[in-house]
A and B are shown apart, each in its own frame.
Chain A
Amino acid sequence: MSMDLQNLTIEQNEPGKLMVINMGPQHPSTHGVLRLVLELDGERVMNCTPHIGYLHTGIEKLSEHHNYTQNITHYCRMDYLAPMNNELAYCLAVEKLIGGEIPARASYIRVIMHEISRCMSHLLWIATHALDIGASTAFMYGATEREKLLDIYEFVGGQRMMTSYIRIGGCKEDVPDGFDEMVRKWADNFGKEIDRLHGLLTKNPIWLERTRGIGYMSRERSISFGMMGPLLRAVGVDADLRRDRPYCRYEEFEFDVPVEQEGDVYARYLVRMEEFYQARRIVLQALDKLKETEADTHMWNLREFTPPKRADIYKDIERNIHHFKYWTEGIKPPAGEAYASIESGKGELGFYVVSDGSAKPLRVKVRGASFVNLAALPEMCEGELIADVVAVIGAIDIVLGEVDR
């Protein structure tokens, strides 16, 4: 056996011969079930081939066989780090198809939950990204802070994940009493927590060494790869869907869009870190606006597309019938197609919905940010050291549920 091993070593060390290493799908730093086949020259990555699909659950096929309301349940399971983002993007697409006006209160609740989801997504990103590179302290602070956000999720939607809280036409329920105080309490402390993460990492020489100049992408290639979100903003492109194509009344909010020029892992880190502060800013503005709206206007008033209020069902037979028909037959948007997209924490998350006028969609295409961004991984990795591959994956911030769908 020792002889064999010796031969193998000599053969592999021949000049010009690449060593093939399989990384994943069980590797902890691939954030799920991503598999990479790396061809190495010494420690340099010469070729990188991603293999995806290990978590493919056929969500798009399932969507064609469930009605519009039931489908929300599938989508919160895609990007499970920020479930409400998926619900929001899907609901916006169906609402575009129907074409009704969303009440201000529902939009502000959505904005708050959307920004909280962004923070949840980014907190898990900084926690695991730092852990991958070797800074395990940041993981503890990131995970602790994320727990507080999960508590808000639970308070509002009844569950820590998979809430199905955002519904077609608004939100499932109005926010409970004490929501305002709870979110403000979190926001008061949040800036300090992010300052602490900055203190741990931003000027840390080891962190700089591991992230600066790594995983470079040019502006042209990033655009050609269809990247959006923090990855595009890290190469000097000033683009943000919340500002450029406002949805959910984002035009009423004041916030800055952080842009960095370098296009490396460190630039992506700086962009996301700044987004924490901006998310907090938006949440506080939305809380103020929420106070000015009337309670219980969390759903639009299109009777055909809205379930009756729970308390009303037992009052008269009509609403009882309405309730029954809504949940058994489902809603029937007019035939047509619509695409709506949001700026999720990971990039552009969009839904393309085609309706044939029945209660089930003819086709739902999910434009997952992670799927698109991951396609650029080989270009970012090639020529880098094998140890930097985990840094690059971490900086792309993928979630395999969204990649494989």
Chain B
Amino acid sequence: MAELKTAEQLLELAGIALGSLLLESSTAADDLSILVPANSIRDVLTTLRDADGLKFDLMSYMTVVDYTPQEPRFELVYDLYSVDSANRIRVRCRLADSGSEDKLPEIDSVSEVFATADWHEREAYDLFGIHFRGHPNLRRILLPENWDGHPLRRDYPYDGKPAWKLGASVAEPDAKFDILDN
């Protein structure tokens, strides 16, 4: 078992491996978190997985945070873990909204680098509406195929899109069958 490194030691190693791709870093609460450019996320994760001394070979999870109304709006978070040394690194990248409802913001898929990214990216697509380029099977995972919108975005209403409110008259057929039919 290799030794557990401090966040500062890891940052130094990551800095050597990534070079100019490492934009910002933070070591708050002894968690190393780095910011990298969105267009090189696949290269960054491949480097971190294979580089000597780092070997972050297991991806714990991947997720999205919606920072509306900040710009750029989305931050994608990839948490990597090293099975041999038990070190952990959080890789973040920022992604701007596309500005229109029909076009989703895009980023490269990393499902070839880590097999577990497949489902995590499907979940991010489903709940946040991020399009992953090169994903083998990008469809909704938790919600039905015909769902309208992406619920974990901050502008998606908390109590859902208009359906029935408690005590509302449910007699109108349109309101009742809208969700099921579309």
Contacts and interface: CB of A to CB of B under 8 A. Distances in A.
Interface string A223-263: 11110100010000111010011000000000000000000
Interface stretch (A14-22, A101-109, A288-296, A334-342): A334-342
Task: Name the interface size band of chain A.
Answer: 35 or more
B77 to A, nearest CB: 7
B114 A224 contact: yes
A237 to B, nearest CB: 6
B65 A354 contact: yes
A371 B156 CA distance: 24
Contacts of B156: 61
Interface stretch (A3-11, A35-43, A50-58): A50-58
Main secondary structure of the interface of A (DSSP, over half): mixed
Contacts of B31: 96, 338-339
A225 B142 contact: no
A375 B116 contact: yes
Task: Name the interface size band of chain B.
Answer: 35 or more
B151 A58 contact: yes
A341 B141 contact: no
A87 interface: no
A326 interface: no
A60 interface: yes
A167 to B, nearest CB: 20
Given A352-B77, A372-B116, A223 B90 contact: no
Contacts of B143: 53, 56
A363 B75 CA distance: 11
B86 A239 contact: yes
Contacts of B63: 352, 363, 365
A241 B81 CA distance: 11
Task: List 6 tightest A-B contacts by C-beta distance, closest first.
Answer: A226-B116, A244-B86, A53-B142, A367-B61, A224-B115, A365-B63
Interface of B: 1, 4, 28-29, 31, 33, 57-61, 63, 65-67, 77, 79, 83, 86, 88, 90, 114-116, 118-119, 127, 140-144, 151-152, 154, 156, 158
